[in-house]
Structure 1
Amino acid sequence: MLPTRGLKLTKETEELLRRLKLKAKVTPNVVSRLAFFKSVESGYRYHDPSIKLDGSLVLDKVTWLGDLTLVIDCTLKMLYPSLDSKELEKAWATHVQHGVKTLRSAKSLVDIV
């Protein structure tokens, strides 16, 4: 399971989330949830444990994941059963990063969904 406190993303991902917030008027935590599932559905899999979660936006698990907390935790455990919570955080962050990159041209919520 993901740690309950202090989930972070990369600076690059945070910047993409900020841009989407300005263009599409959707908060970063909501876009990150959609991006996570978009990434998982695309077949992308986490493979780079050297990723640095160097972003400045630090939120707790409930804020990032909302009502989808259990679903996201279970999805991560299903995909990566041998990873510990810190590695699962990196896996989650890379899925969000991968998914956000596919959404970067969105101009509204309709484009995101």
Structure 2
Amino acid sequence: MLPNRMNLTRSTEEQLKKLKGYTGITPNVSARIAFFRSIESDFRYRGQAAKLDGSLIMDKYTWLGDTSEITELVLKMYYPELDNKEYQQAWAAHVEDGIASIRNHKFLSHLSKLL
């Protein structure tokens, strides 16, 4: 469903990298946290295509890790009508939405209290 190689928008990547600098959490792990924070917040992708121009192009397993199956199932449940390219757009939109709630944490201890 999701392509084997994925990337995000440049601005989302910058926020993930900044969070890594503050907390030490790698961008792929913080992207997973951001995705599920967005799902919990009831954000819904409405088909707004974003330019996925980030330079962190990783394979699906690196981005999603052990959450790959559940991530794809959640996307399929919320968006049964999308095609594979649109699923990547939806995933990227959820990561972008979710990173907004965690991007300003300067310490891992502050972020862990939030979660």
- 1:42 deviates by 0.2
| Worse-matched range after superposition: 45-54 or 16-25 | 45-54
Q: Deviations over 1:6-48 (max 9, x none)?
A: 2010000000001000001100000000000000100000114
Deviation at 1:105, TM superposition (A): 1.4
Q: What amino acid is aligned across from residue 55 of structure 2 in structure 1?
A: S
- After superposing on structure 2, the runs of 4+ consecutive aligned residues of structure 1 that deviate more than 2 Å are 108-113
Whether 1:85 and 2:84 are equivalent positions in the alignment is yes
Equivalent residue number for residue 14 of structure 1: 13
> Partners in 2 of 1:31 and 1:111 — Cα distance?
14
Residue identity matched to 2:104? S
Q: CA RMSD in A?
A: 1.0
SS class of match (1:102): coil
TM-score where L is the length of structure 2: 0.93
Task: Give SS of 1:103's match.
Answer: coil
**How do residues 51-62 of structure 1 correspond to structure 2 at under 5 angstroms?**
51-62=50-61
C-alpha spacing 1:65/1:107, structure 2 compared with 1 (3 Å): same
2:23 matched to which residue of 1? Answer: 24
Task: List runs of 5+ in structure 1 lacking aligned partners.
Answer: none
User: Contact conserved, 1:49 with 1:87, CA < 8 A, in 2?
Assistant: no
Look up the match of 1:3.
3
40-49 or 63-72: which moved more? 40-49
Structure 2: 5+ residue stretches without partners: none
